[in-house]
């Protein structure tokens, strides 16, 4: 999910050049060959994929790590708040680290070896650049006037590009939503886990809630010690520990820190033995399609199977990682009757890829929160909050009704900002029911959830008379290579250009114009309709595509292809092969177009 409306780091470009210099310096000194870089790469290539785990990301994450230390000096110890940080140098950072290890040893706030090496390698001149970067970032935090506990949320989300963070679903939850969810679900003293806690937004809110009560110190300490967070990213856990320290240092010097670097989906060790009363959080929202390695894709497919939520083969690429987090929590982390409350993509209530998710096997007391468009806009993807309890029985619920509450802003604001302290009000509630429940190949499929009133107005549920006459067509991708507009050149030849409509929703690398004014034989142009332009009894728009097929028999043969069409096909095939994901098995563009023989099947 992408938060578009955040407080922003201003003039970031001023330090970009300095960051680039550090990156070049490390590369020139072959830092990538050191054990430090290699052990960093081992961790971070799992988190962000091999493509993004590069020297630049190493530099950015190392900078964030050291900002953590400076946060201790400036915010936790409130030292030199007003100074302009000019004295930040290697010695100071070393000094802080030594003190840090001594003072906070009992809190298990680890240091991260592969980052410690970062400072040591630079000559004095480069350290000056580094100081300037630290200075700029720390000043940005302090100037932002945010509560200090949100400093790292602010920094992480502004400093690392959304493209990188998408790979591990690192988009945090705004405090106003976190607050509402915590108030609804958390009862004082309960054991709580956020299995993908990031820098701890949900846990921070729970700590604040505990501190606000008028319970005894002992009771509060016990409740704090019951808070747990896991995250796959060691940097996030390190920063979360610092925020805990900031919130608790004055009153509680001896609290337990239960924050662990842990892969909540695939790691299995002793942490898993602990079970909780409440699982709360916002699991990552990427899908199987976003995973680069074939091995990791297979792990995800197997886990979806094991959790009984794997979709049919045509939908496998859309497996939602957040859906796995929901069912995995039930299996490994929830006590009997425990509660779970997640921010999750709306796709889980409507998508065809989540029809087994909607069986809610092993869950009961399901509730949904829906949001007005203005609130939804805070993320770029439609989302819901999904609440449930673990049920004693692991049966699929056959007939269920889910109450859904619709929230909007109390004051009708023009635009909503991520850190705004706003109140959500419940506008109305509806009851959601499955459109239908079907059994296919021994598997129960719960079709999308719709409102009970809507279902009353629908025609009786049975397959449409036309259903058997319709077949899903081919997925004609990548569109930027084959969707065209054309002008007649002569009787036989046409001049083609890309149909620019397809670029609007295209994603990299398929969002480029790859050809201009190319000639092809007219007979290779086909008229196509996309499902989005097909409504009941009407096709209201269409496209032209280039396909290297003979019209009479839909044959594909390179040797008999027209001269111009062959040249054009060779060109776009090359572009396809260069840009396709390494995990895509197709060996040519044609194989991709004709997946499942959908293109040439003459049905």
Ligand X SMILES: C[S@@+](CC[C@H](N)C(=O)[O-])C[C@H]1O[C@@H](n2cnc3c(N)ncnc32)[C@H](O)[C@@H]1O
Residue number with CB closer to ligand X (2 or 409): 2
Subset of 515-544 contacting ligand X (CB under 6 A):
none
How far apart are the C-alpha atoms of 248 and 260, rounded to whole Å?
Answer: 18
Q: How many residues bind ligand X (CB under 6 A)?
A: 24
Tokens 């049975």, residue? 462
Q: Is 44 in the site for ligand X (CB under 6 A)?
A: no
- SS3 of 298-349: HHHHHHHHHCCCCCCHHHHHHCEHHHHHHHHHHHHCEEEEEEEEEEEECHHH
Per-residue binder mask for ligand X (CB under 6 A), 199-218, x = binder: --xx----------------
Q: Is 281 in the site for ligand X (CB under 6 A)?
A: yes
Q: Is 282 in the site for ligand X (CB under 6 A)?
A: yes
CB 281 within 8 A of CB 385: no
Instruction: Output DSSP code: residue 87.
Output: T
Examine residue 128 and say whether the peptide bond preceding it is cis (omega within 30 degrees of 0).
Answer: no
> Which among 150, 219, 217, 214 is positioned nearest to 189, based on CA atoms?
219
Q: Is 173 in the site for ligand X (CB under 6 A)?
A: yes
Q: Is 264 in the site for ligand X (CB under 6 A)?
A: yes
Q: In whole angstroms, how close is the CB of 523 to ligand X at the nearest point?
A: 50
Using CB under 6 A, which of 53, 197, 319, 323 touches ligand X? 197
Residue number with CB closer to ligand X (133 or 278): 278
Q: In whole angstroms, how close is the CB of 550 to ligand X at the nearest point?
A: 48
Residue number with CB closer to ligand X (200 or 562): 200
Q: Is 265 in the site for ligand X (CB under 6 A)?
A: yes
- The span of 170-178, 212-220, 247-255, 549-557 binding ligand X (CB under 6 A) equals 170-178
> Which among 285, 291, 350 is positioned nearest to 320, based on CA atoms?
285
- Structure tokens that stand for 305 in this block: 């199977």
How far apart are the C-alpha atoms of 208 and 227, rounded to whole Å?
Answer: 12
Using CB under 6 A, which of 69, 85, 159, 230 touches ligand X? 230
Residue number with CB closer to ligand X (197 or 593): 197
Q: Is 233 in the site for ligand X (CB under 6 A)?
A: yes
Q: Is 185 in the site for ligand X (CB under 6 A)?
A: no
Per-residue binder mask for ligand X (CB under 6 A), 457-476, x = binder: --------------------
Tell me how far apart the 2 most distant CA atoms of the chain are, in Å: 90
End-to-end Cα separation, the chain, in angstroms: 40
How far apart are the C-alpha atoms of 132 and 86, rounded to whole Å?
Answer: 8
Torsion, CA 262, CA 267, CA 273, CA 274, rounded to 10: 30
- The span of 226-234, 306-314, 518-526, 594-602 binding ligand X (CB under 6 A) equals 226-234
Q: Is 172 in the site for ligand X (CB under 6 A)?
A: yes
How far apart are the C-alpha atoms of 9 and 151, rounded to whole Å?
Answer: 12
- The span of 9-17, 188-196, 382-390, 500-508 binding ligand X (CB under 6 A) equals 188-196
Using CB under 6 A, which of 40, 44, 171, 546 touches ligand X? 171
CB 286 within 8 A of CB 347: no
Binding site for ligand X (CB under 6 A): 168-173, 194-198, 201-202, 230-233, 236, 263-265, 281-282, 284
């Amino acid at each position: 999910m992408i938060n578009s409306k955040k407080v922003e780091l201003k003039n970031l470009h001023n330090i970009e050049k300095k960051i680039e210099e550090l990156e070049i310096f490390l590369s020139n000194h072959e830092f990538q060959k050191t054990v430090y870089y290699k052990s960093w790469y081992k961790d971070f290539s799992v988190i962000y994929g091999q493509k993004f785990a590069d020297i630049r990301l190493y530099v950015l994450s190392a900078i964030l790590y050291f900002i953590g230390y400076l946060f201790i000096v400036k915010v936790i110890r409130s030292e030199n708040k007003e100074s302009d940080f000019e004295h930040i140098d290697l010695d100071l950072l070393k000094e802080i680290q030594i003190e840090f290890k001594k003072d906070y040893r009992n809190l298990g706030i680890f240091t991260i070896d592969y980052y410690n090496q970062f400072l040591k390698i630079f000559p004095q001149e480069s350290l000056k650049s580094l100081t300037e970067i630290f200075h700029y970032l720390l000043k940005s935090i302090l100037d932002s006037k945010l509560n200090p506990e949100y400093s790292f949320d602010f920094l992480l989300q502004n400093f690392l590009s959304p493209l990188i963070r998408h790979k591990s679903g690192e988009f945090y939850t705004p405090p106003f939503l976190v607050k509402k969810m915590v108030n609804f679900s958390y009862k004082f003293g309960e054991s709580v886990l956020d299995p993908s806690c990031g820098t701890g937004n949900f846990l921070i809110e729970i700590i604040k809630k505990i501190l606000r009560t008028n319970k005894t110190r002992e009771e509060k300490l016990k409740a704090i010690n019951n808070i747990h967070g896991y995250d796959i990213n060691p940097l996030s856990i390190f920063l979360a520990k610092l925020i805990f320290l900031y919130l608790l240092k004055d009153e509680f010097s001896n609290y337990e820190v239960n924050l662990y670097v842990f892969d909540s989906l695939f790691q299995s060790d002793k942490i898993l033995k602990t079970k909780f009363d409440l699982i709360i959080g916002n699991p990552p929202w990427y899908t199987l399609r976003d995973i680069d390695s074939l091995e990791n894709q297979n792990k995800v497919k197997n886990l979806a199977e094991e959790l009984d939520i794997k979709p049919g083969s045509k939908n496998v690429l859309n497996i939602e990682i957040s859906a796995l987090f929901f069912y995995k929590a039930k299996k490994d982390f929830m006590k009997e009757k425990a509660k779970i409350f997640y921010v999750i993509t709306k796709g889980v209530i409507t998508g065809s890829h989540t029809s087994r998710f909607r069986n809610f096997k092993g869950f009961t007391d399901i509730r949904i929160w829906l949001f007005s468009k203005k609130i939804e806009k805070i993320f770029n993807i439609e989302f819901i909050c999904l609440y449930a309890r673990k049920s004693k029985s692991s049966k699929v619920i056959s007939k269920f009704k889910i109450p859904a509450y619709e929230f909007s802003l109390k004051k009708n604001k023009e635009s909503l900002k991520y850190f705004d302290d706003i109140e959500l009000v419940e506008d109305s509630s509806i009851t959601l029911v499955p459109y239908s429940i079907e059994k296919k190949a021994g598997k129960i499929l719960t079709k999308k959830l719709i409102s009970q009133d809507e279902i009353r107005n629908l025609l009786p549920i049975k397959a449409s008379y036309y259903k058997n006459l319709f077949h899903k067509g081919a997925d004609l991708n990548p569109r930027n290579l084959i969707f065209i507009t054309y002008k007649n050149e002569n009787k036989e030849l046409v001049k083609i250009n890309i149909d620019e409509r397809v670029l609007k929703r295209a994603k990299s690398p398929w969002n480029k114009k790859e050809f201009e004014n190319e000639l092809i034989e007219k007979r290779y142009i086909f008229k196509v309709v996309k499902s989005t332009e097909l409504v009941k009894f009407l096709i209201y728009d269409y496209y032209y595509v280039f396909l290297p097929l003979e019209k009479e028999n839909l044959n594909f043969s390179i040797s008999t292809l027209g001269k111009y069409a062959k040249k054009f096909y060779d060109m776009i095939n090359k572009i396809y092969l260069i840009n396709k994901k390494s995990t895509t098995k197709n060996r040519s563009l044609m194989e991709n177009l004709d997946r499942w023989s959908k293109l040439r099947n003459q049905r």
